[in-house]
Amino acid sequence: MAEKRLGLFRMRKNKGSSAASAKQPKAAAQSQPVQDGKKRTQEQDRGHSDRTLKMFPKFMSHRKTNKNTEGTDKFGSRPTDVSTASIECAEMTNYVVKADQVPAMVRIMHERLSSPVTADVRLFMNILRMADEHPPGVVLTLLRCAPTCDREMRRDLMPLCFRIACHLLGLLSTAGHRWDRPFLAFLVEVFDCLDLSECRDRVLEMMSRYLQSECRERGRLALRGLMVLIKDPLIARRMGILSQRLVDVLGDADREVVRLSLSVFMNVLQYKDILISSTTAPKLAEALLPLFDHDHSHVQLLSIQLFEKVMDLVVDQGKKPLKRTVSQSLLPLFLHCHDENQHVANASMETLLCAARFLKKRSLKQAVKKEMPMKFGKCLLQENRSRAAELLLQALPYLESPQEPLREAAIRFIGMAARYLKGQPGELHVLSQALEAMSKDDSPSSTNLEIQAIFGQRCAELRSSAGFGEPVSQEQYQEPVKRTSPLSVTGEPGMDDARHS
């Protein structure tokens, strides 16, 4: 790669587009004999001196800017020797670069590379040599100069990036390196420019280690790196070794970390010949279920879409262990079909249909296809009579949703579920919990108030039959409804079932 770059610059130089390199300050140049036997013209000397002098203001501006930065770090931002500017474009074959000179020299070289003037080929040779001799200093300085890698840096420094990356991979192959965090940040920025065909396994092993790091920033960098690496199909097919690490990350409190992990899974599963193992599928599905209710809509959307892929791509041996989690997903997916975010609502509908097919529930599938949400709720309860209490309790947290359509859908489902609770052990306890949750709504709908009245009456009857006290009249429970809204809700789907329970 370096030879191709040098060849390109030779072509530019022959066309007269390259800038002459500065070898020594003017005073030194005048005191030395002419090496090539040709006498310089006055204009050449003046141009050479002007270019050299222009370096010093740039260099001094860096000294002023970085005056108060970390001076004790040998790879810090503070330049230590003004004389380094004079060799910025000079031949460095016999020049020994000291570690404390690297930051100043790299900064000046970076400025030259960022300028519109075509850089001399010797500039590239010099910075490549420094990268070989002082990789930490070069990397840290480049990250300070260009935290997200300029276009100029990616275009002109490809040979440099390749050499540094190879060196850093060797340094990061073992844990505990002092500069591992900036090294990793540099690698992430240049991964897509590198040929990793000979070190895929080593790179994945390194990323696996950083995914387990207690440092959240290192974990985030590893995930960003994986997002680049999985563009290589061969690396994507080896991602199985990271599946457990990525599942663990889904429980992180940092939404960006969770989003990146979901994105990695989604991008890996886009390859048609990749399936999900029987051990990974149940663990991944269980980790995704709580994310349906995440406070970040993009995380919600990705988790719901990924859940559908899990059902579609799990190997045959993994389908049976997955059924329990898919059954638990039905109610959350049903309620999120009412989500105000249309992307989330559409994804929920598609995934709900996939879940009905996966479980081979024909009635549920037909209800989803015909877009009859309340019929789906009834069918779900009929298919799971013994789980009515569990489903009712599963719906209670949605009463606290900031979205009114979600709260209303949950209220209606809770009203329907009450019918299937009649006579079951724990009916009084479940209804009492429901009443408490519904009463916390500061602006209850008429449906909410009516169901509270019905549940209150039923709780009073259960207490009375158990010897806890006298039942309270139905009129007392209906009074809050009459005061709040003149509308009758007896015709609402599911209300008649709850009233006659």
Q: Is the pLDDT of residue 488 over 70?
A: no
Q: Is the pLDDT of residue 24 over 70?
A: no
User: Mind listing the pLDDT tens digit for each residue in 85-120?
Assistant: 444 444 444 556 777 878 887 787 777 766 666 556
- CA distances (Å), 350 to each of 46, 225, 311, 324, 462, in order? 73, 31, 12, 19, 41
CB distance 129 to 92 below 8 Å = yes
Mean pLDDT of 282-286: 96
- pTM recorded for the entire structure: 0.70
Residue predicted with more confidence, 15 or 150: 150
Residue 178 binned pLDDT confidence (cut-offs 50, 70, 90): confident
- Burial of residue 414, with CB atoms counted within 10 A of its CB: 0-12 exposed, 13-18 middle, 19 or more buried: buried
Residue predicted with more confidence, 121 or 367: 367
Q: What's the confidence (pLDDT) of residue 456?
A: 93
Cα(390)–Cα(393) distance, rounded to whole angstroms?
5
Q: Is the pLDDT of residue 37 over 90?
A: no
User: Mind listing the pLDDT tens digit for each residue in 406-454?
Assistant: 999 999 999 999 999 988 888 999 999 999 999 998 889 999 999 999 9
CB distance 343 to 306 below 8 Å = no
> Mean pLDDT over all residues of the chain?
75
% of the chain at pLDDT higher than 90: 42
Q: What's the confidence (pLDDT) of residue 198?
A: 76
Identity at 429, one-letter amino acid code: H
Mean pLDDT of 283-299: 96
Residue 264 CA, distance from chain mean position: 8
Cα(186)–Cα(239) distance, rounded to whole angstroms?
22
CB distance 82 to 90 below 8 Å = no
Q: Is 18 helix (H, G, I), strand (E, B) or coil?
A: strand
Mean pLDDT of 239-261: 92
- CA distances (Å), 97 to each of 88, 103, 264, 449, in order? 11, 11, 42, 80
Q: What's the confidence (pLDDT) of residue 25?
A: 42
Cα(262)–Cα(347) distance, rounded to whole angstroms?
15
The dihedral over CA atoms of 230, 233, 235, 238, expressed in degrees to the nearest 10, equals 110
3-state helix, strand, coil in the chain (%, to 5): 70, 0, 30
Mean pLDDT of 343-350: 96
CB atoms within 10 A of CB 428: 17
Residue 332 binned pLDDT confidence (cut-offs 50, 70, 90): very high
Q: Is the pLDDT of residue 282 over 80?
A: yes
Residue predicted with more confidence, 127 or 308: 308
Kindly state the helix (H) or strand (E) to which residue 353 belongs, with its residue range: helix 342-358
